[in-house]
Structure 1
């Protein structure tokens, strides 16, 4: 495991960390909105690396130790965030990577596959939805999550770390599935993130406020050529599982795997054997 390092990628400073042998196939992990690289647990990355993958995780803009912008004032677009992923690959000398994206990161991974197909050896999409038309009317958030959106936790004083940790833990609970929760591990993760983030208010707010990218072309899911694996929780309250099935129908030859009891979250540790096994299988097949 390498130490976290600040890279100049796509013209900005991004914090990244790698695991394993640079000569092995590269797996780039892209987090969701407001998610620092810590959501991809060190143990998870180590297990992938032990199986023969060069694993890269990084802080998106406005998360962790990467470049941050004033709260409520992001001046970058989703295309910039996708370009950052390419910039991380460039900075680490990776020609093409196996791209794994969750939630918003899954949208960025789709965008990469459509705009920079030569840099995507394979595509894995977790807990996400299509960024282009799929021809299906898809369900919205669960009633419980919709109620949470309507009555969110009271915004904390952002310089009060303890209050911010409580706020984020409460918010994350709303996205969990039906598997038993490890409250201690969740709180420990959130504490780590809060303490290492440059501007936690920007991290929480800015990805939901990105300006529209009017320069984006029309996006067709059928144009994704990378071998694609879709893993989706059966208890996802934000993007119900129909979103994953629709993606699998829209992307040619995509393979779908249901994750039993998983919500809108990085797969819990109990599911790691399944998820890591599927990732190893998928990334191996893509280079055979």
Structure 2
């Protein structure tokens, strides 16, 4: 689909088209196919699930070099995906930076959201969006910050796969067992989908203006679920509790052992939490 500025976005629908639509919004520098197939299938049992590639990831247009944009512009891309598919209102799930984008949708386009689910993320103005450094909440683990310095390096396929698998090990948080082969297969699919072995870095370079809006979240009235990932090394506790406290009417649910990743052990509890939340929102 083509959106503002001639940017083309790749998207995929799965499940019964007549079922309640659910839009999955991935994190920074991550294509839509990093939503694991098994998790998407679980969600598709009740929803028409849409996942898509942000600009500068996967099969979507790479544009940052010729047309710089802000992180906030990626939230407008999410709405453009819904528009292109003829979806007036959807349940929306955002992970990591995707959770930041969904918070912007809660503030700027609440009429388009049936419900929101936020996972592995922090409140606007906190965490990686704490540009002023005033939130007082903890930042990412030092080992992760150090590893990020090598992001986007010039590596062949084998070396890049090794880098990405080690990245997932660090993101996983060390509580749940780490299945390196499973994450390698996930990243092999992502590379094949993108047609490139080079890791995307554009979102780390995008303008962060307009993200310091945490004070506005108290006015949210869209049913919102915050998923607490207690082993998350990017947004460690108490980020999830803080987010649930500042978003109007939000509920908090914990997935034990979950870090900043979506390995098989979290698929069933996460899908169950999301589906219960969306069912309650639809009933209400």
For normalisation by structure 2, the TM-score amounts to 0.88
- Aligned match of 2:145: 149
- Aligned match of 1:253: 249
Is the 2:171–2:259 contact (alpha carbons within 8 Å) kept by the matching residues of 1? yes
SS of the residue corresponding to residue 257 of structure 1 reads strand
Number of residue equivalences: 275
- Aligned match of 2:237: 241
SS of the residue corresponding to residue 87 of structure 1 reads helix
Mapped pair 1:208 → 2:204: yes
SS of the residue corresponding to residue 27 of structure 1 reads strand
SS of the residue corresponding to residue 10 of structure 2 reads strand
Q: 1:149 Cα deviation (Å)?
A: 2.0
| Distance in 2 of aligned mates of 1:199 and 1:74 | 21
- Aligned match of 1:78: 71
Q: Which runs of 5+ in 2 are unaligned?
A: none
Is the 1:136–1:246 contact (alpha carbons within 8 Å) kept by the matching residues of 2? no
Q: 1:155 Cα deviation (Å)?
A: 6.0
- Aligned match of 1:106: 99
- Aligned match of 1:224: 220
Is the 2:220–2:249 contact (alpha carbons within 8 Å) kept by the matching residues of 1? no
Mapped pair 1:193 → 2:190: yes
- Aligned match of 1:55: 49
Pick closer, same or farther for the CA change 1:140–1:283 going to 2, 3 Å: same
Q: Which runs of 5+ in 1 are unaligned?
A: 1-6
Is the 2:124–2:213 contact (alpha carbons within 8 Å) kept by the matching residues of 1? no
Q: Deviations over 1:48-96 (max 9, x none)?
A: 112x21100011111110111366x761112220011001101111001
| Distance in 1 of aligned mates of 2:208 and 2:120 | 22
SS of the residue corresponding to residue 67 of structure 1 reads coil
SS of the residue corresponding to residue 248 of structure 2 reads coil
Q: 1:277 Cα deviation (Å)?
A: 1.1
| Distance in 2 of aligned mates of 1:139 and 1:154 | 22
Pick closer, same or farther for the CA change 1:155–1:56 going to 2, 3 Å: closer
| Distance in 2 of aligned mates of 1:188 and 1:15 | 21
- Aligned match of 2:159: 163
The RMSD of aligned alpha carbons is 2.5
Q: Deviations over 1:239-276 (max 9, x none)?
A: 1120000011111221101111111113x221222111
- Aligned match of 2:139: 140
Is the 1:113–1:224 contact (alpha carbons within 8 Å) kept by the matching residues of 2? yes
Question: Out of 43, 56, 59, which is 1:65 matched to?
Answer: 59
Pick closer, same or farther for the CA change 1:80–1:260 going to 2, 3 Å: same
